[in-house]
Structure 1
């Protein structure tokens, strides 16, 4: 038998796919032998990993290395989790641990029909939820209605689970079944299954589920069902009128649920599908439902529904009807912005003053709309009035940008400086410096800013400025003058004075390391080790290695009963 050619996977590749912390912990798991029940079937790896509990890990390889991987642990901080790292390191270094399983076709080829029937029967007896797969595989004429009650029970059963990942996993089999039907040209039953899923998800997905669906696992199933139903509608030239109405109704109900939840993209693609596939006859019953929903909603949700009707009118070549509809049913914002487009500026401003002058985001958007309509005079007048009436909303940034682009940079600089005085921050400082330098006004303004910050005791900001401008000594003096800033700026100052005051930098890094050690957790120990590595490097640079040996020995002795800390110090080469 020819030797099987397997993809080459390297430790460097795995390291690139994981965070440093996940890789190090996964490497430790591998060394401790946490991987067991390892098996390989073709290019797929599966195993159990002993962590805080037993997790099930899978990986699929390709000729470039790793194609995909999964783990049942709750890790969600980017890249591979430590259990996946342990699995892949085991594959690289101890491939003999993996029991090689022949392809499924080979495993089953030797069985008789009776044996296979008995085997499937035993599997269903142990896992009754697999029955729907057998039903799906039964011969059935394409595009002849199937009985969907089993699939509905399966969906409802999955949606009664409490964990969103388990819900999504339970529904994924139904999604795959629908995809299989669609691939074999049975768009009628594929659409029925997508429709069923969308109905059940729309009913079940409420605020409580939204709050636990952190990663959108369940919401993504809804989006996939909508995309599938969209595909089926594209094939459905001869679809029964009632079935068509049911499918479109499910899309609309999903859109309403999304609006109810605040627009979380639960029903992404639903409105587009309605616009793409609803016929004139469909809109005769659909439009009254949308109008009824418009009457029950306000603000953002109402705006989305009005837009849906307006898009339908525009799609049908009735632009004026779309405008009339917005004037009739639209929110004040929609009507005001449309009036600007129509050149009816006084009417637009009257609505804006009455309806959304208390909403700063809309205020500036409305001003931008006036600018786009070539009415810069009205835009400036509008924002200036709002700044006077509601100064706490801070429209000076908009006014500054306006004066920059309309030939009054000195006035813009004055406004930027006033805003910095009111709300000093490092990003504002950098932006102000850049603008003032372009006008040749920085030297004088710089002195005023530093004086103001010193008077108001903005030590942390002064330290950031000193470090950024290469004044490490001044940053060190400022840090010593204000003990409070040592909790937030010690690291940045230590880096700035490594070359000029290495012993002071060493003291700061030691202080930071001790502070993190006292937090008593693995992540804090890793941070402490990183600071101690800087201490070691500085001692080496200043030829004071004996002091370093004394320091690290004291730490190891003092915290001898903290094995996790000792482990991190070892990992850091300390």
Structure 2
């Protein structure tokens, strides 16, 4: 193949047949038989024109199925096709029918590709004034090249400063998107920015920078929007352990993202980012937080136009589900905003099963399966399965595929339920991290981790608190880790290291919590008795003083230390260690 492709690049007259075969073989290897055959049809009606060749690089235009004509570039090398690209919607990876048409045209009509000199050859002998004139014409035709020219100028040339922060750098990347851009590469760079963003608000700004430019990125931006979706997930996870003020602000931000769905006309799409963000907020918000969010949504409805009022009304239905005394008024609101899934959930909760089945019949295929757990809670799992079978029989192809996959999984889950029970038994008998990971994997596969987690944490708290703390810290649930670390129950030997790890993790965001955990570990050290344990207790008290003093709370640190000394006044050896570490004690 290498020799034949090299022959295709050189194309001596007596080897035309072999060269043609080489190019067609390279095209087949890159594109596959089906795409190559579609390319042949384009060649047959002369779709390829304006062909040029510069060394191993082929460029041409190829007419599309409509009025458009796409730009195609192919680079050959001795092993075949090194890379290819087309600016059609399917051509960013270089495996479209237009690329096939260009390769086949070159194989059959090499003379249709005019050999053009390299840039260096073309510019040889052009003087400075000629270059300036050429550059001027280019900038008139392509003003966006001005930034590239500025980058090549000497450092003394004035230029804008580099954007700072995740939002600024993301905006700079997204402004450079053009039709046919490599969106996967763009998504990778945006994901790197997300990973670098330290604070929650930086992650939020990055998500807004992406979703606000949804139209610029285009309809094939799944990989790019997935970064914004992960931003939403990250923010929601962080809010679980945030203080009340930060939770309220973060929840407002999540619900506010729905405004972009309204602006972009996709507010009714279940998979849209704003709808996902609202679902994330609902999953973690308390009743009081939902009421506060509902008030804000009502304000947005009052300020919006007819479309905005309708779209925000759907969110209001979700927020006020189960919170109002006027159940019938809420049902009417849900009906007016076409939220049959919400009505079905609420009717099941109220025990109005017959009405729930009526609402079920109105639920779209894409939302249908979200109701399975609610029906199972009412002991209606078998009836729900039969209803899904009936829906699958009359659903469209996309909906049918999803429903049939769920039905097949249902059969498998019967065995998986038994395996989940066994995994819980293993954790109770052998509470290790490996057993926890196995249980979590099985529970998540069944969508039951929420209920199983509480039982798993209770087992670990009683039998292996160090394993529980390590897992909570890894999950970022500092509030739960603090509760375990401060618990005054007797803990196994070696748990002190887990307490210290929790306190160190709390120092930055919750210094008071860190001080309390260090103090709890000091008490645990005293309970062990012995001079070595007393010295360790003093080391914990020194950490308490460091954490609080760094925030100007020296008096509080001193009071905690003196209270500690007073509680253990009868331990003379401990008092001696305290004096050695901190000086004379208060009388």
Q: Same fold (TM over 0.5)?
A: no
TM-score normalized with structure 1 length:
0.37
TM-score normalized with structure 2 length:
0.36
